[in-house]
Amino acid sequence: MEDSDGQIVETHSVSAGLDYPGVGPEHAWLKDSGRARYVAVTDKQALDAFHELTRTEGIMPALESSDALAYAAQLAPTMDKDQIVVINLSGRGDKDIHTVAALEGIEV
């Protein structure tokens, strides 16, 4: 992410692992070759997904993975019942409890 002079611009995401302005060459190639599509969700949607998986499955996802869960929840209703969704739960959310607690005013 850059401005018209080529200066790198500041980013924001509640997910630390997504809060950077670059894209790796593999992702750039997958996008350009049409083999992958890239979407975004809001911080709130990711946090909601974080809580949802924690409550329903007892699995606390990393906030980065929560972004994927949030989009899966939007995508699934548009699909056929027998289509399969695979989510890569790329990390565990223990590392993010202080971030979530601070946002929700919880003392840990």
Partner 1 sequence: MSRIAARFASLRDQGRKALIPYITAGDPQPDVTVPLMHALVEAGADLLELGVPFSDPMADGPVIQAACERALRHHVSLTQVLDMVRRFRDTDEQTPVVLMGYLNPIEVMGYVKFAGAARAAGVDGVLTVDLPPEEAHELVDSLKANQLDPIFLAAPTSDDDRLRRMAECGSGFLYYVSFKGVTGANRLDVKSVQQKLAQIRANTGLPVGVGFGISDAESAAQVAEFADAVVVGSALVKRIAALASRPEDVAGQAPAIIAEMRRAMDGVAVAALP
Residue numbers at the binding site for partner 1 (CB under 8 A): 2, 4-9
Cα–Cα nearest to 15, from 43, 34, 40: 43
Comparing CB distances to partner 1, the nearer of 2 and 19 is: 2
> Least distance in Å: CB of 1 to partner 1?
11
Q: Are 62 and 13 in contact (CB under 8 A)?
A: no
Min CB(25)–partner 1 separation in Å: 12
Burial of 96: CB neighbours in 10 Å, binned 0-12, 13-18, 19+: buried
In the complex with partner 1, the residue whose CB is nearer, 2 or 74, is 2
Question: For residues 74 and 96, what is the distance between their CA atoms, to the nearest angstrom?
Answer: 23
Nearer to partner 1, 32 or 107 (CB): 32
**Secondary element (H or E) of residue 75:** helix 63-75
Report in angstroms how near the CB of residue 8 gets to partner 1 at its nearest.
Answer: 4
